[in-house]
Chains A and B, each alone.
Chain A
Amino acid sequence: MAMALLSAAPPNHLPNITLTQSTAKHCAILKPYFSFRLKKQPLKYQCLASTSTRAISDHEYGVGSDGSPLPAAVDPETKFQDLKWVGGTWDLNQFLKNGKTDWDDVIDAEVKRRKWLEDNPQSSSNEDPVVFNTSIIPWWAWMKRFHLPEAELLNGRAAMIGFLMTYVVDSLTGVGLVDQMSNLFCKTLLFVAVAGTLLIRKNEDIETLKKLLEETTFYDKQWQATWQDETSSSSKLN
């Protein structure tokens, strides 16, 4: 019965179909809801005669003849559906594993939802508002999943660089590890190495950092431009 529904849906609803296929087995209770949505009236936007007087724009923007009905292809009828998505948020009771909430699963589910919504933007509705907040997932779940692997990677890099540099400095100057640590210059180099591994992960990061720095002061420069002009105009007046 679920398959009949799927064949009735228009072909351009491909993403929706993949989602419903995954829930097809559980679809029985949702079926009435689905058929209701498919019968919904398409959107009607009419253009009154007064729109010919539009384009009272200061800018020669050239507003074309608008008011045509939304093209059907862009008008998805289905919303985000998932058994575990109840009342505009994830039902944590359905994510239990061995009696405890499996936070990784919750994160995965939210990622899938956001990805789906990014590809198929949905209308926000007052009847079923979304109230999910990422802070319901505890901080240690985030750390375990995201921070720890990256920390391991960066620490590994820093350690490798540190070991290599210690060896090179020792072979060149004969100063051992302990003596290097009490030298200010070496400590500075160590600090630069650690900061470098943190900030620069790819070659492009150097450019990104430079652009970021410029960005923070750009707005200020735009505001002060009128004051820089002052010296040139004062010399003109004199």
Chain B
Amino acid sequence: MASIALKSFIGLRQTTSENKSIVLSKPTTQTHRNFRINASKSSPRVTGRNLRVAVVGGGPAGGAAAETLAKGGVETFLFERKLDNCKPCGGAIPLCMVGEFDLPLDIIDRRVTKMKMISPSNVAVDIGRTLKPHEYIGMVRREVLDAYLRDRATTAGATVINGLFLKMDLPKSTGSPYVLHYSDYNAKTGGAGEKKTVEVDAVIGADGANSRVAKNINAGEYEYAIAFQERIKISDDKMKYYEDLAEMYVGDDVSPDFYGWVFPKCDHVAVGTGTVTHKGDIKKLQIATRLRARDKIEGGTIIRVEAHPIPEHPRPRRVLDRVALVGDAAGYVTKCSGEGIYFAAKSGRMCAEAIVEGSENGKRMVDESDLRKYLEKWDKTYWPTYKVLDVLQKVFYRSNPAREAFVEMCADEYVQKMTFDSYLYKKVVPGNPLDDLKLAVNTIGSLVRANALRKEMEKLSV
């Protein structure tokens, strides 16, 4: 099914000018083409110093961006307001991230190799049979991962500033710097920091879902989901069950448009749920999630309660002049699974690479076209992944019958293999066409059956 969806959508990103003619049938496509010229190659050399770039936000996106920039010879300032921040997060990273970012294996608390999907009528399906011995989903603690990436950036030559970004002054003319105002949290004084400014040539906004950089460039708003989770410490024998297993609960009671989860953390489990459309009911949804998992988390104690926003789609504007957004600030969280850490780090790295290349290792000034290159590369590489997950969410998170069909489909080995391959390696790989056809037929069959049962259920209630 993945490849069927792929065939219709991969054409979307062949060239951006093609899309323009589909989306707006205005003759402005001609002027748009001129933008493709590599303007920065003719931009002035930066004399006497290297290019200065500020990365606002020290999470995975900021850390990855700062490291790549520093390695590329750019003078980098990484702003982070809370160096020991335990960002509330699901904490799952795909296998490819470990390889691509050279993560040491000891920052991974757990390797999840089994998942259980539980339908609204409690049909439970185990997925993970098709995983090879070396494949797993890594569960990390954000404070550990973020600190590691920031330290690597520092080693590469970036300057980490413990401060809160307040606002930035946009440049008055081409080539003049951005002035960033921030509160420096000097360890000695504690309390409120002292106001300082710094001048930079480009800014990468990696400051998360409530990005201030995004506000400064009027990037626009996006819809977001609220993810609410409770960290629950359960007894050792119950913890054994979650040794390498994560659970996903679907159902209207648990979430009308997302799913409830039990993810194992270092020595406790995180039980949570999320929603976009029914944010006011989040407490009720959480109680329902706890109920569904009751037998397995009984007797546990809640050690922490946390909530965080998850963007649902990219902001209308991700680049303006010499400011670019990456990670959650840009809205790079997938639908259906709500995965964001890998995409944050990857987008940070991609943006930094575009800046390094456009500035010829920090020797020239960059401009918007260089940052647009990062956007183009990003959209082209990951658009299929995002679109497929969007289609999956639209089809299978619609209603209880759809969720029942979803869980039924997950029992199929081919589905499991495709799902894990695309999740772990972030490549939408077209599978065997015959198997895809069989899968499509089975999917439609499941959906039809589940919906037929639902119609009968409605007759009962009347």
Chain A residues within CB distance 8 Å of chain B = 43-48, 50-51, 54-59, 61, 63-64, 66-67, 70, 74-75, 107-108, 110-115, 117-118, 121-127, 129-135, 137, 139, 142, 145-146, 215-216, 219-231, 233-235, 237
Contact = CB atoms under 8 A, between A and B. Distances in A.
B198 interface: no
Nearest to A115: B457
Given A222-B316, A237-B321, 4 more contacts: A45-B301, A56-B86, A118-B253, A135-B446
13 contacts: A45-B232, A45-B300, A48-B303, A58-B88, A107-B456, A115-B460, A117-B121, A122-B291, A130-B121, A134-B450, A220-B387, A224-B23, A227-B19
B320 A233 contact: yes
A121 B287 contact: no
Contacts of B304: 50-51, 54
Nearest to B88: A57
Contacts of A74: 287, 291
A75 B291 contact: yes
Interface string B369-397: 00010010001000100110010001000
Contact of B461 (A55, A113, A115, A146): A115
B277 interface: no
Interface string B325-369: 000000000010000000000000000000000000000000010
Q: Which 9 residue pairs of A and B lie closest in terms of their CB atoms, listed nearest first?
A: A123-B294, A225-B316, A222-B313, A125-B295, A111-B456, A61-B307, A54-B305, A146-B452, A121-B253
A231 B19 contact: no
A73 to B, nearest CB: 11
B23 A66 contact: no
A219 B123 contact: no
Interface residues of B, number: 95
B23 A118 contact: no
Interface of B: 12, 16, 19-20, 23-24, 28, 31-32, 34-35, 85-88, 118, 120-124, 174, 208-210, 220, 222, 226, 228, 230, 232, 241, 249, 251-254, 283, 287-288, 290-296, 298-309, 313-321, 335, 368, 372, 375, 379, 383, 386-387, 390, 394, 400, 404, 408, 411, 445-446, 448-450, 452-457, 460-461
Nearest to A220: B12
B315 to A, nearest CB: 8
Contacts of A43: 294, 298-299
Nearest to B319: A226
A210 to B, nearest CB: 16
A63 B208 CA distance: 20
Given A224-B19, A227-B16, A70 B461 contact: no
A221 B120 CA distance: 32
B357 to A, nearest CB: 20
Contact of B32 (A66, A222, A230): A230
A225 B314 contact: yes
B314 A122 contact: no
A118 B390 contact: no
A215 to B, nearest CB: 7
A139 to B, nearest CB: 8
A125 B118 CA distance: 10
